[in-house]
Amino acid sequence: MIPYGRQDISSEDIQAVIDVLKSDYLTQGPAIPAFEQAVASYCGVKFGVAVNSATSALHIACMALDLGKGDILWTSPITFVASANCALYCGASVDFVDIDPKTYNMSVEALELKLQQAEIDGKLPKILIPVHLAGQSCEMEKIYLLSKKYGFRIIEDASHGIGGKYKGAPIGNCKYSDITVFSFHPVKIITTGEGGMCMTNDPEIALRLTHYRSHGITRQPAEMTHVPDGPWYYQQIDLGFNYRITDIHAALGLSQLKRLDDFVSRRHEIAKRYDKSLESDTLTIHYQHPDTYSAYHLYIIRHKKKEGGIGRLQMFEKLRAAGILVNLHYIPVYHHPYYENTGKYKRSDFPNAEAYYSEAISIPMHTVLTEEEQQFVIEQIEKPMGHQNLF
Ligand SMILES: *Cc1c(COP(=O)(O)O)cnc(C)c1O
Q: Considering its fold, how many domains does the chain have in total?
A: 2
Q: How far is the CA of 224 from the centre of ligand 1 (A)?
A: 34
Residues 6 or more apart whose CB falls under 8 angstroms from that of 148 comprise: none
pLDDT at 386: 62
Q: How far is the CA of 225 from the centre of ligand 1 (A)?
A: 37
CATH at 327: 3.90.1150.10
Q: What is the dihedral of CA 261, 209, 139, 110, to 10 degrees?
A: 140
pLDDT in tens, 82-132: 999 999 999 999 999 999 999 999 999 999 999 999 999 999 999 999 999
Do 255 and 281 belong to one domain?
no
**Helix (H) or strand (E) run with residue 79 in it:** none
Do 203 and 279 belong to one domain?
no
pLDDT in tens, 343-388: 999 999 999 999 999 999 999 999 999 999 999 999 999 988 765 4
What average pLDDT does the structure give for the chain?
Answer: 97
Do 185 and 312 belong to one domain?
no
pLDDT in tens, 298-317: 999 999 988 888 999 999 99
Domain end, chosen from 259, 290, 309, is at 259
Ligand 1 pocket, residue 79 CB under 6 Å: yes
Q: How far is the CA of 35 from the centre of ligand 1 (A)?
A: 19
Do 217 and 336 belong to one domain?
no
Do 285 and 235 belong to one domain?
no
Q: How far is the CA of 314 from the centre of ligand 1 (A)?
A: 28
Report which DSSP code applies to 328.
-
Instruction: Report whether 165 contacts 137 (CB < 8 A).
Output: yes
Domain end, chosen from 259, 294, 320, is at 259
Do 20 and 147 belong to one domain?
yes
For residue 91, the one-letter residue type is G
pLDDT at 306: 85
Instruction: Report whether 305 contacts 282 (CB < 8 A).
Output: yes
Do 327 and 240 belong to one domain?
no
Do 248 and 276 belong to one domain?
no
**Dist. CA 110–CA 290, nearest whole Å:** 20
Q: How far is the CA of 161 from the centre of ligand 1 (A)?
A: 11
Do 332 and 238 belong to one domain?
no
What proportion of the chain, given as a percentage, has pLDDT over 70? 98
pLDDT in tens, 222-261: 999 999 999 999 999 999 999 999 999 999 999 999 999 9
pLDDT at 307: 84
Do 163 and 209 belong to one domain?
yes
CATH at 76: 3.40.640.10
pLDDT at 390: 47
Do 91 and 165 belong to one domain?
yes
Question: Would the pLDDT of 44 be above 70?
Answer: yes
**Dist. CA 270–CA 199, nearest whole Å:** 29
- Residues of the domain holding 202: 2-259
Domain end, chosen from 259, 281, 308, is at 259
Q: Is 341 exposed, middle or buried (0-12, 13-18, 19+ CB in 10 A)?
A: exposed
Ligand 1 pocket, residue 131 CB under 6 Å: yes
Ligand 1 pocket, residue 198 CB under 6 Å: no
**Dist. CA 134–CA 301, nearest whole Å:** 11
Do 233 and 110 belong to one domain?
yes
Ligand 1 pocket, residue 59 CB under 6 Å: no
Rounded to two decimals, the pTM is 0.97
Atom of ligand 1 nearest to the CA of 79: 13
Stretch 71-88: mean pLDDT, rounded?
Answer: 98
**Dist. CA 244–CA 388, nearest whole Å:** 53
Ligand 1 pocket, residue 75 CB under 6 Å: no
